[in-house]
């Protein structure tokens, strides 16, 4: 039943109101009011009730306008109606009511079925919520609608997101297929920014799947298209540096890590943890001590526990490599506990394996190193220099 999630998630004052509004919106979306389901007087009465109520101002405004639009279904502006749904969606998200937020994001797409961007937004939201089946459904719908109306940007983004969804499910061939299709669309229609984002995702898939040949070419292609100041450029730089770290090029990776400065505690902790692992590989105990202390200062500010578990593994690997057994054990133990609660199977297995090694006073970090260490390349120097110039340098 549409709206059941609202009743289960919100308090009585908001739940009953939004349940009614969602049901009304779904009824209108079914046939644009052609079946005569509505009663204009009832809608006007509800609109007045909402506008004179004591509910949150932003919610009151969005719902009031939405009901006003539905009083005369034949004259309803679907753009305004969908915008109101999205405003309710954002309000619910701020309240921590995730299912209600998703319900109104879906409603926004339903009331404007020829708008592929709204279906794409719904799909992205479902993917972020971990609802894979719904995400796949809405992203496929977004791709179909965007193709019908020659909305190439949305079409390319929907294919890209379907590729990312396949990657998250561990289906690398399917991910590569979607990403290749998305890239062809972006190149054919001159969508350079989207090209950069797709190349970034191609790099991630190549890196994670162990397809080392071509990974750095994807990274370089993403970098060239992100220039000069794409918002994802720092994230790409981190991903590239981490790739180099995993390949054993610790000095090269560390130079990039040191050029990054992120706003969120999660991102800062990730960079610090990876830097700690890098300096440990280089045998710099003093640098490791400084980084460990800085990471400890922000540890309790990291709210994304999934990110925290993976970063704690890096800290533990660094401590273990330097034979700081007590710190290594503490980091791995916390990572294992967090991963177990979050259902992060891979992180939990890694933490358990590392704990076993540390308790036997064995190095838990099994990274293999290249025969010849190249501290920097033309690409790494250019990347580090550009990050500093665009204001992402430390301090």
Handedness of CA 303, 304, 308, 311 (dihedral sign): negative
Tell me the C-alpha distance between 5 and 103, whole Å. Answer: 8
Residue 357, Cα to own-chain centre: how many angstroms? 33
Classify residue 71: in a domain, yes or no: yes
Residue 153 belongs to what H/E stretch?
helix 152-168
Give which of 20, 16, 23, 17 is closest to 2, Cα–Cα: 23
Evaluate whether residue 30 is within a structural domain.
yes
Residue 106 maps to a domain: yes
pLDDT on residue 394:
44
CA 218/CA 239 separation, integer angstroms: 12
Helices 98-111/116-128 angle, 10° precision: 160
- Name the domain count of the chain: 1
Q: What angle do CA 231, 288, 283 make, to 5 degrees?
A: 110
What is the pLDDT, as a whole number, of residue 8?
82
Cβ proximity of 178 and 142 under 8 Å: no
Q: What letter would DSSP give residue 388?
A: I
Return all residues near 25 (Cβ < 8 A) that are at least 6 apart.
66, 70, 81, 85, 107, 110, 111
- Does 14 reside within a domain? yes
Q: Comparing C-alpha atoms, which of 156, 146, 150, 74 is closest to residue 115?
A: 146
**By the 8 A CB rule, do 78 and 111 touch?**
yes
pLDDT at 234: 93
Has residue 53 been placed in a domain? yes
Per-residue pLDDT, 395:
40
Q: Which of 181, 112, 169 is nearest to 142 (CA)?
A: 112
Per-residue CA distances from 183 to 168, 205, 223, 328 (Å): 19, 14, 15, 42
d(CA 61, CA 57) in angstroms, rounded, equals 6
**Residue 392 burial by Cβ neighbours in a 10 Å radius (0-12, 13-18, 19+):** middle
Q: Is the four-CA dihedral 376, 378, 380, 385 of positive or negative sign?
A: positive
Domain that holds residue 88: 1-113
> Half-sphere exposure of residue 38, counting CA atoms within 13 Å on the CB side?
29
Tokens of 92: 């619910």
pLDDT in tens for each of the 395 residues of the chain? 566 777 888 888 788 888 888 988 888 888 766 655 667 777 788 888 778 777 788 888 898 888 888 887 777 899 999 999 999 999 999 998 999 999 999 999 999 999 999 999 999 999 988 899 999 999 999 999 999 999 999 999 999 999 999 998 889 999 999 999 999 999 999 999 999 999 999 999 999 988 877 899 999 999 999 998 899 999 999 999 999 999 989 999 999 999 998 889 999 999 999 999 999 999 999 999 999 999 999 999 998 888 899 999 999 999 999 999 999 999 999 999 999 998 888 999 999 999 999 999 999 998 877 656 677 889 999 999 988 887 644 44
Secondary structure (DSSP) of 69-83: HHTSGGG--HHHHHH
Its sign, for the CA torsion 191, 196, 199, 205, is negative
What was the pLDDT predicted at 103?
A: 94
CA-to-CA distance for 304 and 301, rounded, in angstroms? 9
Q: Is the residue at 346 inside a domain? A: no
71 exposed, middle or buried (CB, 10 Å; 0-12, 13-18, 19+)? middle
Assigned domain for 61 exists: yes
Residue 102 to residue 106: CA distance in whole angstroms: 6
Q: Are the CB atoms for 149 and 113 separated by under 8 Å?
A: no
Burial class (CB in 10 A: 0-12, 13-18, 19+), 283: exposed
Structure pTM? Answer: 0.89
Between CA 105 and CA 111 the distance in angstroms is 10
Flag whether 298 is in a domain.
Answer: no
């Amino acid at each position: 039943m549409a709206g059941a999630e609202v009743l289960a998630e919100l308090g009585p004052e908001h739940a009953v109101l939004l349940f009614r509004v969602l049901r009304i919106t779904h009824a209108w979306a079914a046939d644009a009011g052609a079946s005569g389901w509505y009663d204009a007087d009832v809608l006007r009465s509800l609109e007045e009730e909402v506008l004179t109520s004591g509910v949150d101002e932003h919610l009151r405004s969005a719902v009031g306008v939405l009901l006003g639009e539905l009083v005369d279904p034949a004259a309803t502006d679907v753009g305004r109606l969908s915008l109101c749904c999205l405003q309710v969606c954002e309000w619910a998200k701020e309240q921590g009511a995730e299912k209600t937020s998703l319900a109104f994001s879906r409603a926004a797409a339903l009331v404007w079925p020829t708008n592929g961007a709204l279906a794409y937004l719904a799909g992205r939201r479902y993917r972020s919520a971990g609802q894979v089946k719904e995400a796949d459904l809405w992203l496929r719908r977004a791709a179909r609608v965007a193709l019908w109306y020659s909305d190439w940007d949305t079409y390319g983004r929907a294919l890209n997101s379907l590729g990312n969804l396949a990657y998250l499910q561990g289906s690398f061939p399917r991910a590569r297929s979607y990403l290749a299709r998305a890239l062809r669309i972006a190149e054919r229609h001159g969508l350079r920014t989207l090209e950069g984002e797709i190349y970034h995702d191609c790099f991630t898939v190549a890196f994670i799947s162990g397809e080392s040949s071509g990974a750095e070419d994807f990274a370089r292609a993403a970098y060239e298209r992100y220039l000069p100041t794409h918002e994802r450029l720092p994230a790409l730089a981190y991903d590239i540096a981490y790739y180099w770290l995993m390949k054993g090029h610790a000095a090269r990776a560390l130079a990039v890590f040191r050029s990054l400065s992120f706003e969120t505690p999660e991102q800062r902790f990730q960079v610090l943890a990876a830097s700690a692992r890098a300096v440990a590989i280089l045998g710099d105990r003093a640098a490791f001590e400084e980084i460990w202390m800085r990471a400890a200062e922000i540890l309790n500010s990291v709210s994304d526990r999934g990110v925290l578990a993976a970063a704690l593994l890096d800290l533990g690997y660094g401590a273990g490599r330097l034979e700081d057994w007590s710190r290594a054990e503490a980091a791995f133990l916390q990572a294992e506990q967090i991963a177990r609660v979050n259902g992060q199977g891979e992180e939990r297995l890694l933490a358990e394996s590392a704990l076993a090694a540390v308790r036997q006073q064995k190095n838990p970090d099994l990274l293999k190193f290249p025969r010849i260490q190249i501290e920097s390349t033309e690409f790494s120097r250019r990347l580090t220099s550009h990050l500093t110039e665009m204001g992402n340098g430390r301090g």
